[in-house]
């Protein structure tokens, strides 16, 4: 009897535990869904706030007004970052974040990322260094946007918590199995560091090392928690090694798919024959560049200052009766700077044949002309990216006899063509004749915002429909002569929503004329499957709110006829 009683108790408590677990899981899902829908609700009015501020900024303002709007813009943008963080966090938590699988150029992504992060670093006079020596493959498969998000968080923190010294991004790609690479990436800083007790709390949501840090540096404590979840989603992990006062090193790894389109990244220059001089006072920068150039086969010599560079160059000439093929000079060095050193080298009979490449930390208008006048053959802003190095080396190739007929670098062209595409500005575009846009949007403020954004890129023929039924009606009221060219379709609208009206258009309810009209969705959802939902409903493309003017412009370039003009 006693034994039976015991078992009944156990069964009962197991049942209770199971129930409690289910309740807790339900509560967790409900919490995530609540967060997701809240952040969605907030994004809609944010579109109005940011859009209107953008428009105000372009009107006639005095300095004080301009300043106030800039402050409001930056606050609105911080709020948006926070909302995006919360949305991301709740999405991953609810298992609703879907990764994209795209082919992309990993070195290119890291280079572009470093170029955008460097502004923040240089404002604090910190050196940002990118080391991609150990990435030999050009193309991988994964989610470039999410990878960039991880980098933005970790590198952003590294810069934020460093007031002196440098931040190094060190990436390597190693074979994982026949289908995957493993990307390992270290972000090392020389900043304030994190104590062991504090490290234990990192990577948890809403956790910051201490309240005083928050007051001084700002932030929400969500960044690292998101990074951890993103890494896990990509079958990797993130960890930290740090010492208070000495700096931190965050390391993360993710798996990336192998692509058939990949090829080895090597410059199309006979690197074995090249003797290169590197002049920089920053040791890490020298090491990284040296490793990369040596990895490609060149012989590299280092100098820590302008004076040392002159001595080494002379000694090299005395021994070999020729000078270095190419020299990379840092502009900002104590004592003799890069420009002065360049002048000395060009004034020296023995050394003036050296090709000179300038590396600058600060870019100013007129730099190109200034350096060209000094006799430099090329320049690039630090950190040195693969693209910069290839461009610099191709300068040598242009001269080399054997290399005259060398075919252009595949990679250089590839990166260049990518850059050229994104660089088109609104004033370089003349839209085709008779473009008419139908804007389907129920929110009054957002109607004005979208309309004004379109007007700014010279698209003024815009009609508005406040719901799906009006969309169909508007389309039916037009003729072949007054035909709409594209529909910008808000997804959430009363009466008939964007999905339903897109389906109606595709099935011919708005006439044969419009069965194939391009429809671009505009949605504040940004949730998993949203894009698919739009495509399934027959829409062709997708922009998430708040709408950014440059994204709208870039999407419209895909769908509207235009001609490039010289600006
Ligand atoms: P936040 O948005 O507050 O920066 P994170 O999750 O990104 O949130 O970081 C949490 C905390 O971890 C930060 O507030 C900071 O105290 C600490 N931390 C993160 N990265 C570094 C770093 N590179 N150096 C020193 N402290 C750091």
pLDDT of residue 210: 55
Query: Is 221 touching ligand 1 by the criterion CB < 6 Å?
Result: yes
CA distance 533 to 490: 13
Residues with Cβ within 8 Å of residue 205, at least 6 apart in sequence: 89, 221, 222, 225
Confidence of residue 204 (pLDDT cuts 50, 70, 90): confident
pLDDT of residue 417: 34
CA distance 489 to 496: 12
pLDDT of residue 435: 93
How many Cβ atoms sit within 10 Å of the Cβ of residue 116?
13
> What CA–CA distances, in Å, run from 210 to 202, 216, 217, 341, 525?
11, 10, 11, 47, 33
Beta bridge partners of 140: 104, 258
H-helix or E-strand spanning residue 314: helix 306-320
Q: Ligand 1 center to residue 237 CA distance, Å?
A: 17
pLDDT of residue 116: 81
- Averaged pLDDT of the chain: 84
Q: What is the mean pLDDT of residues 264-284?
A: 86
Q: Ligand 1 center to residue 161 CA distance, Å?
A: 8
Query: Is 189 touching ligand 1 by the criterion CB < 6 Å?
Result: yes
CA distance 138 to 54: 38
For ligand 1, atom 16, the nearest C-alpha belongs to: 209
For ligand 1, atom 4, the nearest C-alpha belongs to: 219
Q: Ligand 1 center to residue 157 CA distance, Å?
A: 6
pLDDT of residue 425: 82
Long-range contacts of 423-426 (CB under 8 A, 24+ apart): 424/557, 424/564, 425/567, 426/456, 426/457, 426/458, 426/553
Q: What is the mean pLDDT of residues 301-320?
A: 96
Check: pTM over 0.85? Answer yes or no.
no
CA distance 236 to 253: 5
Of all atoms in ligand 1, which is nearest to the CA of residue 203? 6
In tens, the pLDDT along 554-565 reads 899 989 998 888
pLDDT of residue 483: 92
**Residue linked to tokens 């194939």:** 516
Q: Ligand 1 center to residue 188 CA distance, Å?
A: 13
In tens, the pLDDT along 492-504 reads 888 899 999 999 9
pLDDT of residue 218: 56
Nearest-CA neighbor of 195 among 217, 207, 210, 185?
A: 210
Confidence of residue 303 (pLDDT cuts 50, 70, 90): very high
Query: Is 209 touching ligand 1 by the criterion CB < 6 Å?
Result: yes
In tens, the pLDDT along 511-547 reads 998 999 999 998 876 555 677 888 889 999 888 888 8
In tens, the pLDDT along 33-48 reads 777 677 777 877 888 8
Q: What is the mean pLDDT of residues 282-292?
A: 94
Query: Is 162 touching ligand 1 by the criterion CB < 6 Å?
Result: no
The residue whose CB lies within 8 Å of the most ligand 1 atoms, and thus the one to mutate among 88, 224, 240, is 224
Residue 346 clears pLDDT 90, i.e. is over it: yes
Query: Is 194 touching ligand 1 by the criterion CB < 6 Å?
Result: yes
Q: What is the mean pLDDT of residues 401-430?
A: 47
Residues in the chain: 567
The residue whose CB lies within 8 Å of the most ligand 1 atoms, and thus the one to mutate among 150, 189, 208, 250, is 208
Nearest-CA neighbor of 565 among 418, 431, 419?
A: 431
Q: What is the mean pLDDT of residues 47-72?
A: 85
- What are the residue ranges of helices labelled H in 94-143? 106-123
In tens, the pLDDT along 120-172 reads 888 888 999 999 999 988 789 999 989 999 999 999 999 999 999 999 999 99
Query: Is 305 touching ligand 1 by the criterion CB < 6 Å?
Result: no
């Amino acid at each position: 009897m006693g034994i039976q009683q015991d078992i009944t108790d156990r069964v009962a408590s197991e049942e209770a535990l199971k129930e409690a677990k289910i309740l807790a899981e339900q509560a967790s899902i409900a919490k995530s869904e609540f967060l997701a829908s809240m952040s969605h609700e907030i994004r809609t009015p944010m579109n109005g706030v940011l859009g209107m501020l953008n428009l105000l900024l372009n009107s006639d303002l005095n300095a004080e007004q301009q300043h106030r709007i800039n402050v409001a813009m930056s606050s609105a943008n911080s709020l948006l970052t926070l909302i995006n963080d919360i949305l991301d966090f709740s999405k991953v938590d609810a298992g609703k974040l879907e990764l994209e699988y795209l082919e992309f150029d990993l070195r290119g992504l890291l280079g572009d990322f470093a170029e955008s992060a460097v502004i923040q670093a240089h404002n604090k006079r910190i050196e940002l260094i990118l080391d991609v020596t150990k990435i030999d493959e050009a193309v991988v498969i994964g989610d470039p946007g999410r990878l960039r998000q991880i980098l933005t968080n970790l590198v952003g923190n590294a810069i934020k918590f460093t007031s002196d010294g440098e931040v190094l991004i060190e990436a390597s790609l190693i074979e994982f199995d026949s289908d995957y690479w493993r990307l390992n990436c270290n972000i090392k800083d020389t900043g304030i560091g994190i104590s062991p007790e504090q490290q234990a709390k990192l990577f948890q949501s809403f956790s910051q090392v201490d309240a005083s840090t928050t007051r001084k540096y700002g932030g929400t404590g969500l960044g690292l928690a998101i990074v951890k979840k993103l890494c896990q989603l990509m079958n990797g992990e993130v960890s930290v090694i740090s010492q208070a006062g000495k700096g931190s090193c965050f390391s993360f790894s993710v798996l990336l798919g192998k692509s058939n389109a990949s090829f080895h990244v090597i410059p199309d220059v006979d690197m074995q024959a090249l003797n290169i001089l590197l002049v920089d006072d920053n040791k890490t920068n020298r090491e990284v560049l040296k490793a990369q150039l040596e990895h490609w086969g060149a012989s590299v010599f280092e100098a820590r200052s302008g004076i040392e560079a002159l001595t080494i160059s002379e000694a090299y000439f005395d021994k070999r009766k020729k000078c270095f093929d190419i020299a990379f000079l840092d502009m900002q060095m104590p004592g003799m700077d890069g420009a002065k050193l360049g002048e000395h080298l060009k004034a020296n009979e023995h050394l003036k044949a050296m090709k000179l490449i300038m590396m600058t930390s600060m870019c100013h208008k007129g730099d190109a002309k200034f350096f060209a006048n000094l006799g430099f053959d090329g320049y690039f802003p630090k950190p040195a990216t693969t693209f910069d190095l290839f461009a610099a080396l191709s300068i040598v190739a242009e001269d080399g006899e054997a290399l005259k007929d060398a075919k252009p670098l595949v990679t250089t062209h590839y990166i260049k063509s990518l850059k050229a595409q994104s660089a088109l500005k609104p004033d370089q575009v003349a839209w085709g004749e008779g473009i008419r846009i139908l804007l389907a949007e129920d929110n009054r403020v957002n109607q004005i915002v979208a309309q004004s954004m379109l007007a700014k890129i010279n698209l003024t023929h815009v009609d508005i429909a406040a719901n799906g039924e009006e969309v169909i009606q508007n389309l039916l009221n037009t003729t072949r002569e007054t035909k709409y060219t594209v529909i910008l379709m808000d997804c959430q609208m009363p009466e008939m929503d964007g999905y339903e009206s897109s389906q109606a258009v595709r099935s011919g309810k708005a006439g044969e004329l419009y069965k194939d009209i391009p429809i671009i969705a505009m949605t504040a959802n940004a949730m998993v499957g949203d894009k698919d939902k739009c495509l399934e409903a027959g829409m062709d493309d997708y922009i998430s709110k708040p709408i950014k003017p440059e994204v709208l412009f870039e999407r419209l370039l895909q769908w509207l006829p235009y001609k490039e003009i010289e600006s």
